[in-house]
Structures are given as structure tokens and as C-alpha cells.
């Protein structure tokens, strides 16, 4: 498998993202942006990008904080994430930087792009779509659904899939309902999968180390189910019309 660091500028930052694809294929392939959790581009998002490359995609595990930083102090992270949530143009700029870098690659078919993300990375994928990006679909895993610009849902060009723990304390039923209303008002082709008994960060095996199982906990079954749903979603959006 080919792996390289892809560097580009976005939102005034120098991003150092990880590109993966299987070598030896001449035809351009669909590309997938993989946006990480709020901590930054760590092992979880990188491992998912590698899995996608193994399935035949060109996958870009995207930097979030610039220079490939991975932050560990929640007190330092939350003001950054709060500021990005309040300024969707900045979130979209960071996501779009990855999109433009991926589309510029000769291995990629720029007409076949999807964006996925985990936790805040899922929010990034959704904001990229709300910004009118030319992507076929956006997938959020245990992603924040709220936005300060719900009216921008009308700009979404592709389809949307979100996979949420039904008991996730970070994504309330009220937030889910507001997202549904936003998607309907925007005329979006969307779907939401809920997993009973599942909380936040259910795709990340390292979530248990957080020490708050009532808030964040890995769930192997929900992880497997949501990955399968994503693959079916990709089969749909990347199939010839």
C-alpha cells in the first residue's frame, strides 16, 4: 500500500494529512476524506483510511489542528472546537483544503468523492456538505449534528448518512430532531441510523481509556454495523447512474 504525507494550506494552517491507496491501479478511483475526532489526526482515523484504501479507495486521513498535531488536554481542545462550531466557514475551510488536495491527485476521480468523519470530524464532513462542496456523500459516525447555519442544508449536493448511538449524551434527542428538520427543510437525501444502548465514540477501541463509560464507550457491534452501512452507502453513491 502506498502511503505519503500530503501537505496543504487551509484556514491559515499548514495541514499534514496522510494519503493511502493501493498501488498498481491505473484508472482513477473514488476518493474518501476521513476527518478525525476533536483531538486531531490520531491512530483511529488513520486506521480507517488504511481500511478504505484496502477496499480500493484513495483515502486521505485529514489533519485537523495543523502540523499534524494531536492534542490530549480537553481543556485546551474545547475552546478550539467551540470556536470552530461557531464559525462554520472556518470548519468548512479546513475540510475543503483536504478536498482540494485529494481531488488534485491523479489517482482520484474528482467526480466521485465522499467525506466521512468521527465525532467532530463527522461535523466537519457535514459542514463541508452544507457549504455546497461537490461531494457525492457525507457520513458522520457519532458526529455532532448541530450547526449555527441550518439554512445552508439547501446547498447539500450529495447524500447524507449519520450513525448515532441512541443513548449518546453528547447528541440529544432534541439535537437529532433538529437535524431531521434541517435535512427536510433543505430537501436533502438523508438517513440516520440509531444503535440502542450505544453511547459516544462507539467506533473507537481507545474510547474505553477515557474512563467514562456512561459517556464514551467502544461498541464492537455498532462499529461493525455502521461500517457496513457506510460501505452500502458508498456502493450506492459511487455506482454508475
Cα separation, 153 vs 188, in Å, equals 7
Per-residue pLDDT reduced to its tens digit, 32-53: 999 999 999 999 999 999 999 9
Neighbours of 207 (CB within 10 A): 23
What does the pLDDT profile of the chain (241 residues) look like in tens digits? 999 999 999 999 999 999 999 988 888 999 999 999 999 999 999 999 999 999 999 999 999 999 999 998 888 899 999 999 999 999 999 999 999 999 999 999 999 999 999 999 999 999 999 999 999 999 999 999 999 999 999 999 999 999 999 999 999 999 999 999 999 999 999 999 999 999 999 999 998 887 888 889 999 999 999 999 999 999 999 986 5
164: Cα within 13 Å, side-chain hemisphere: 26
Cα separation, 170 vs 69, in Å, equals 24
Neighbours of 149 (CB within 10 A): 14
Measured in whole angstroms, the distance separating CA 122 from the mean position of its chain's CA atoms is 4
181 with 151: CB under 8 angstroms?
A: no
What strands lie across the sheet with 29-35, from one edge to the other? 2-10, 13-21, 58-61, 29-35, 108-118, 137-141, 159-165, 190-195
62: Cα within 13 Å, side-chain hemisphere: 34
Cα separation, 96 vs 102, in Å, equals 10
Cα separation, 120 vs 118, in Å, equals 6
**Angle CA 192–193–197, to nearest 5:** 135
Each residue of 167-202: b (16+ CB within 10 Å) or e? ebebbeeeebeebeebbeebebebeeebbeebbbbb
Of 150, 135, 155, 143, nearest in space to 181 by CA: 150
Which domains, ranges and CATH numbers included, belong to the chain?
2-238 (3.40.50.1820)
161 with 139: CB under 8 angstroms?
A: yes
> What is the DSSP-derived secondary structure letter of residue 14?
E
Per-residue pLDDT reduced to its tens digit, 108-152: 999 999 999 999 999 999 999 999 999 999 999 999 999 999 999
153 with 181: CB under 8 angstroms?
A: no
Cα separation, 71 vs 57, in Å, equals 28
Amino acid at each position: 500500500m502506498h502511503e505519503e504525507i500530503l501537505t496543504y494550506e487551509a484556514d491559515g494552517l499548514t495541514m499534514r494529512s496522510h494519503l493511502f491507496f493501493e498501488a498498481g491501479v491505473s484508472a482513477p478511483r473514488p476518493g474518501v476524506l476521513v476527518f478525525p475526532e476533536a483531538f486531531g489526526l490520531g491512530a483511529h482515523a488513520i486506521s480507517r483510511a488504511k481500511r478504505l484504501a484496502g477496499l480500493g479507495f484513495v483515502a486521505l486521513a485529514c489533519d485537523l489542528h495543523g502540523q499534524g498535531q494531536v492534542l490530549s488536554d480537553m481543556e485546551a481542545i474545547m475552546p478550539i472546537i467551540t470556536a470552530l462550531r461557531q464559525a462554520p466557514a472556518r470548519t468548512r475551510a479546513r475540510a475543503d483544503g483536504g478536498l482540494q488536495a485529494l481531488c488534485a491527485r491523479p489517482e482520484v476521480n474528482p467526480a466521485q468523492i465522499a467525506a466521512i468523519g468521527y465525532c467532530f470530524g463527522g461535523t466537519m464532513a457535514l459542514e463541508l456538505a452544507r457549504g455546497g462542496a461537490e461531494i457525492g456523500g457525507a457520513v458522520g459516525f457519532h458526529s455532532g449534528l448541530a450547526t449555527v447555519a441550518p439554512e445552508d442544508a439547501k446547498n447539500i449536493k450529495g447524500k447524507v448518512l449519520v450513525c448515532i448511538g441512541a443513548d449518546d449524551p453528547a447528541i440529544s434527542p432534541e439535537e437529532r430532531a433538529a437535524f431531521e428538520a434541517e435535512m427536510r427543510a433543505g430537501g436533502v437525501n438523508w438517513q440516520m441510523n440509531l444503535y440502542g444502548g450505544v453511547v459516544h465514540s462507539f467506533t473507537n477501541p481507545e474510547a474505553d481509556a477515557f474512563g467514562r463509560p456512561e459517556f464514551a464507550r467502544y461498541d464492537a457491534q455498532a462499529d461493525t454495523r455502521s461500517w457496513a452501512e457506510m460501505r452500502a452507502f458508498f456502493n450506492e453513491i459511487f455506482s454508475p447512474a
